[in-house]
Copies of this chain bind each other. A is one copy, B any other.
C-alpha cells in the first residue's frame, strides 16, 4: 500500500489517500488545540502516544463486536484506516459530570451520573459544534434514524467496554467523544480514542490524565499522556 496525497489536515491529524481507494492513512500530530482552536500548543510525542493508545482501544472494541475503521498501525505516527464518509454528528458519552455538562446542568464536576448520558453535537467548527438533538439531525439530513439508532447503540456498548477497560487500569472514564462514518453501507467507529478525546481521571488520586491538563494549564501534560499510554498498552 502506497501513501498518496493529503486529503485533509485537521487540528491533531492529517489524512492521506493511498493507492487503495478503500483505505486512508491517518497521521497523528503533536499539535494540540482547545476552546475551538482559540488556544494552541504542542504536546511532545502526543501523536506517537495517541496512535498507540488508539490502536489498542480500536482492537479491543473490534474484538468485542464494535465495527471500527482501524486496519493496522503502520509506524510511530501513522495508522491505516478504512476510508469513511464521516457523519457530521459528534457523539459524546458521559459517566461523570465534567466540562460543559457541569455548566449546563449546574452540577459539581465529579458527580457520578445515575446512568450514562449521550449527547450529539453538530460537527461544524464555524458554529462551535453546537449541541443538537434527533430532530435537528433529521432536519439537517445528517443521518437516518436507523443510522442514529445504530450509533447510539454502539456508543453505549463502547461505553460499557471502555469503562471496564480503563477501570481495570486504575482510570475513571469520565466522558469522551466518538465519531462515526459510513463505509460500504456499514456504520464504523472512526477518528481516534485517546487522551485528546477522552476525559480520564486516575481512580486513586483523581488526577486528570487528559487534554484538560493542557486546557487548564495544569502542567505535566506529557507525563499524563505517557502514563495513560503505559497503562493502556501493557499486556
The answer to whether A115 touches B127, judged by C-beta atoms less than 8 angstroms apart, is no
- Do B135 and A133 have beta carbons less than 8 Å apart? no
CB contacts (< 8 Å) of A130 on chain B: these are 104-105
Contact B127–A104 (Cβ < 8 Å): yes
A114 at interface by CB-CB < 8 Å:
yes
Note all chain B residues with C-beta closer than 8 A to A116. 135
Whether A204 sits at the interface, judged by CB under 8 Å, is no
Report B-chain residues with C-beta under 8 Å of the C-beta of A119.
133, 135
Asked if A117 and B135 make an inter-chain contact with CB atoms under 8 angstroms apart, the answer reads yes
Q: Which residues of B contact A135 (CB under 8 A)?
A: 115-119
Please tell me which stretch of A30-38, A136-144, A164-172, A213-221 contacts chain B, meaning at least 4 of its Cβ atoms lie within 8 angstroms of it: A136-144
Interface check A1, CB cutoff 8 A? no
Distance from A51 Cβ to chain B, minimum over Cβ atoms (Å): 31
Are the C-beta atoms of B127 and A139 separated by less than 8 Å? no
* Chain A 115-137 interface mask (CB, 8 Å, partner B; 1/0): 11111101010110011110110
